[in-house]
Amino acid sequence: MRIDTTGLTDVLVLRPELFRDERGVFTRTFDAALFDLYLDETPGSPATRASDFLQDSQSRSHRGVIRGMHGRAGRGEAKLVRCARGAVHDVLVDIRKDSPTFGRKEAFLLDDEDFAHLFVPPGFLHGFQALTEAADVCYRIDRPHDPLEDLAVAYDDPDLDIEWPLPVAAISARDASAGTWQDLVARL
């Protein structure tokens, strides 16, 4: 597994090694020992350890569906995100007021071809749009979900100015009524 940094402070892309042959493909999607070794050897790296991940969740979305932009108040949550089936346009926004990349966004292609994961530290909004007829996104989260800590900003907020690659096919009522970036910044 190779670990790459991104344009957002503390966000990492984990790229597993793929073994392809006439049968298809095999990969180890996550290696806790390599993840922890990277954190141990990289000054200033996030404090999250592989053993901190407590919960796995999965969503299935249809082409054009947007889920997001979601975050957590309080301690936030760290997560590993990957697309196990299909492809998604995945977007992160840094909401850590003391971060050098506060307010910046970055988009990533996650798919079932290269099996890249995003390591998302606490303090980020996260959302994605399904690019394929079916897209399964897997989340490994470091603490149980508490709905009282949910944060959301509208996927089409003009201050975030996220460029979604497809027309929106569907969005939840909760996401459609999410607040603005300015509202969230005032709360932080």
Q: Which residue has the tokens 């404090």?
A: 47
Reply yes or no on whether 89 is catalytic: no
Tell me which of 89, 139, 145, 155 is the catalytic residue.
139
Measured CA to CA in angstroms, residue 103 lies from 26, 71, 98 at distances of 37, 13, 11
Residue 148 phi/psi, 5-degree rounding, is -70, -15
Rounded to whole angstroms, the Cα distance separating 82 from 177 reads 26
Contact 134, 85 (CB under 8 A): yes
The per-residue b/e assignment along 41-76, b for 16 or more CB within 10 angstroms, e otherwise, is eeeebbebebeebeeeeeeebebbbbbbbbbbeeeb
* DSSP summary character for residue 104: -
Residue among 70, 89, 117, 145 flagged as catalytic: 70
Catalytic-residue membership of 139: yes
- Size of the chain, expressed as the number of residues it contains: 188
Q: Tell me the catalytic residues.
A: 70, 139
